[in-house]
Amino acid sequence: DVLPGREAAPVARWLADHPEVQIVCRDRASAYAEAAKQAAPQAVQVADAWHLWNNLAKAVEKTVTGHYGCIRAAHAAVHQPAKAQPPTEPDGMLDVRGRPRRIVATIRERHRAVHELLAQGRSPRGISRDLDLDYYSVRRYAQTANADELLVKVTQRRTLLDDYKPYIYQRFVQGCRNASQRHREVREQGFPGDRSVVNSYVRLLKQGSITTPPSPALPKPRRALRWIMTRPEHLRPEEAVGLKEVREACPELNATVEHVRGFGSLMRERRGEDLEGWIDQVGTHDLPALQQFAGGLLRDWDAVVAGLSSTWSSGQVEGQVTRVKLLKRAGYGRAKLDLLRTRILLRN
């Protein structure tokens, strides 16, 4: 069936008409949980494992962003050149002329304004109208205590060539100065960019603008997140080295890695009965985002334990959701729910 909304009432009505339902596999939305509790008390609620993992990833991303200063400091200490060189690229906080970037000043000013209005008792939606900002942007500013956390993604810029610069530099020092040949070689290693990018870098080498080997690029928060959320045996050697540096840079991130692997073990081995011990371990470290995630698990305890213990999942449903979104876009502004429902159910 196709229901007319995501609220609890339509779901509850549908479940009341289908008392044969024995399993309700769902995401973490409270509306679905409440509907199933009211209208299908005979059914076992199961929190989908993928959504649990996704919720954990969001908590870990907040943790990585909050401790990104540790990663930056450790990276600089390990890879700092012996002799300081004039930067060939502007710092993330500065423009090409060494002046503060406009977007940095804008983010700081908006963060300050949002928190001032919050202190005056204004609601996020009211602030959205006052400052002429998107509501979700206001909510993001309001949920972030320090503006520097918002600047992490803006100021840490990477290029497609960063991972291949050490190889190009090494070949240049060996006497191989043909940019086209270097481009063919890095393409074989996986570089997806255009030859002009390699040409520009080789030109800087020929001009003497770069005289020291480039240090490995500072990993972005999303890259560090991917390392943490990936099973150790699936990491490439260079990724394992990067994760090791991240863990050594910050005790909190090291603890986060252990908690993520512990939760992954619960999921793979279906040991939902051990979840309480995992939550207790999270409570022993100063990790607010993970503790908030753990608190959410406690509020949805039965469904989460069932999701970590059983084989039920909503994987097939997620595939249907992708198809439904395509149908919605195709009919947007030209059709109502009745036609959309028919197209979804008839698969055309």
The answer to whether residue 340 sits within a structural domain is no
Do both 147 and 202 map to the same domain? no
* Domain assignment of residue 194, given as a range: 162-207
The answer to whether residue 322 sits within a structural domain is no
CB 183 within 8 A of CB 177: no
- Structure tokens given for 191: 């570089």
C-alpha separations of 116 from 45, 107, 131 in Å: 42, 14, 12
Q: How far apart are CA 54 and CA 76, in angstroms?
A: 31
C-alpha 47: how far from chain center: 20
Q: CA 55, 272, 286, 253 torsion: positive or negative?
A: negative
Do both 98 and 142 map to the same domain? yes
- Structure tokens given for 224: 């560090």
Do both 105 and 138 map to the same domain? yes
Per-residue pLDDT of the chain (348 residues; tens, 9 = 90+): 888 888 899 999 999 999 999 999 999 888 999 999 999 999 999 999 999 999 999 999 999 999 988 888 887 777 665 444 444 444 455 554 455 678 888 888 999 999 999 999 999 999 999 999 999 999 989 988 888 777 766 655 567 787 788 888 888 888 888 888 888 998 888 888 888 888 888 888 888 777 677 666 678 888 899 999 999 999 988 889 889 999 999 999 999 999 999 999 999 999 999 999 999 999 999 999 999 999 999 999 999 999 999 999 988 888 888 889 998 888 888 888 889 899 888 875
**Domain total in the chain:** 3
The answer to whether residue 242 sits within a structural domain is yes
- Structure tokens given for 347: 């698969």
Domain end, chosen from 293, 309, 325, is at 309
Length of the chain: 348
Do both 265 and 198 map to the same domain? no
What is the value of pTM for the model shown? 0.69
